[in-house]
């Protein structure tokens, strides 16, 4: 494979024969680019080969779970990534359409130490990316991403034999049953489930029903054009619609999910948003009762609420 470049333009011979990878796509905790202008499919393939090379470098078993979010181009991106992983000698377990938490769960359920989830998360259409990990439950941070960047941009990927692809059929149901088995509601709840026509629409409504909730589905039909708004529960447009539906239906709450299902926004029965640090505090209280003396790691954006709560 040729050394990736950052100056290649679409609709050229170079674009069809040389990996395009802009260095800015390597972020602290994942990788994310605008497809076609910042990375091409050959660049994604180079990323897969680089990831496989890094996994061998650190001595982790070369077995990886791969999934993709619901966008018009995500399957193509995943296939290019898989090709690079296979070139690098990885055993690939393809779980298909997935949420990011589902991919992380698959690492444990399928006994695979590595994961690569093709997703642009809550970003708008046109973006793609990969969330990665090689030592569960830890995902990549600055050190791992930094080394991966060196391997990919420096054309240091090493091709190896032994690559193998297995398609895991039916894993969606396995995940839903696992999630629902951990929660059974103690009283009836009417829940607005808002998915912005993103990936979570294929998972969240059914999971909530399996838990015993009455579900009011809101924009849960999959539509990769995102016709109303981008699936991001931190955006005003989505929160406003969630609040309106709660008031309209008399629901107990609304849960809104982002494009890959690892971000959740909450609106209460009056239509007011409950900020994430308050939700985290409620979870911490419950977990403290189960595990006395626990230490909790909280987001740097959280308020001082955790320090003041007794």
Opening angle at CA 228, ends 225 and 233, nearest 5: 100
In which residue are the tokens 């981008």 written?
230
Residues 6+ apart with CB under 8 A from 13: none
d(CA 155, CA 308): 51
How far apart are the C-alpha atoms of 13 and 31, rounded to whole Å? Answer: 26
Q: Are 207 and 101 in contact (CB under 8 A)?
A: no
Residue carrying structure tokens 């409504």: 205
Residue in this structure with the two tokens 């589902």, named with its chain if needed: 102
Spatial separation of the C-alpha atoms in residues 164 and 61, rounded to whole Å? 13
CA distance 236 to 201: 19
Question: Using an 8 Å Cβ cutoff, are 84 and 52 in contact?
Answer: yes
Q: Which of 74, 121, 288, 294 is catalytic?
A: 121
Write down the residue that tokens 């609040």 correspond to. Answer: 243
Check if 121 is active-site: yes
Q: How far apart are CA 224 and CA 231, in angstroms?
A: 10
Distance CA 167, CA 75 (A): 13
Name the 3-class secondary structure at 179.
Answer: helix
Q: How many Cβ atoms are within 10 Å of 86's Cβ, its own excluded? A: 21
Question: Residue 49: in which H helix or E strand, if any?
Answer: helix 41-58
CA distance 127 to 65: 21
Q: What is the greatest pairwise CA distance in the chain?
A: 64
Which residues are known catalytic residues?
121
């Amino acid at each position: 494979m040729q050394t990736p470049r950052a100056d290649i333009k679409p609709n050229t011979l170079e674009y069809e024969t040389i990996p395009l990878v802009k260095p800015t796509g390597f972020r602290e905790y994942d990788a994310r680019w605008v497809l076609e202008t910042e990375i091409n499919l050959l660049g994604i393939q180079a990323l897969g080969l680089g990831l496989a090379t890094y996994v061998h470098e650190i001595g982790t078993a070369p077995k990886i779970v791969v999934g993709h979010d619901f966008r018009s181009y995500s399957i193509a991106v995943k296939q290019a990534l898989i090709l690079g992983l296979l070139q690098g000698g990885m055993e690939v377990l393809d779980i298909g359409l997935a949420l990011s938490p589902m991919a992380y769960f698959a690492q444990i359920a399928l006994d695979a130490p590595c994961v690569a989830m093709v997703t642009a998360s809550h970003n708008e259409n046109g973006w793609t990316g990969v969330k990665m990990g090689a030592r569960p439950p830890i995902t990549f941070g600055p050190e791992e991403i930094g080394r991966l960047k060196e391997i990919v941009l420096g054309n240091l990927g090493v091709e190896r034999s032994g690559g193998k692809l297995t398609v895991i059929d039916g894993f969606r149901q396995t995940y839903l049953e696992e999630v629902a088995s951990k929660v059974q509601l103690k009283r009836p709840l009417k829940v607005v489930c808002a998915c912005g026509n993103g990936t979570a629409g294929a998972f969240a409504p059914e999971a909530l029903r399996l838990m015993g909730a009455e579900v009011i589905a809101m924009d849960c039909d999959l539509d990769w054009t995102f016709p109303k708004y981008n699936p991001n529960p931190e955006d005003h447009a989505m929160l406003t619609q969630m609040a309106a539906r709660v008031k309209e239906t008399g629901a107990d709450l609304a849960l809104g999910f982002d494009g890959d299902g690892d971000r959740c926004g909450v609106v209460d029965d009056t239509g007011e948003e409950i900020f994430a640090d308050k939700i985290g505090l409620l979870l911490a209280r419950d977990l403290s009762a189960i595990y006395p003396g626990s230490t909790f790691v909280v987001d740097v954006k959280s308020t001082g609420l955790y320090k003041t709560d007794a």
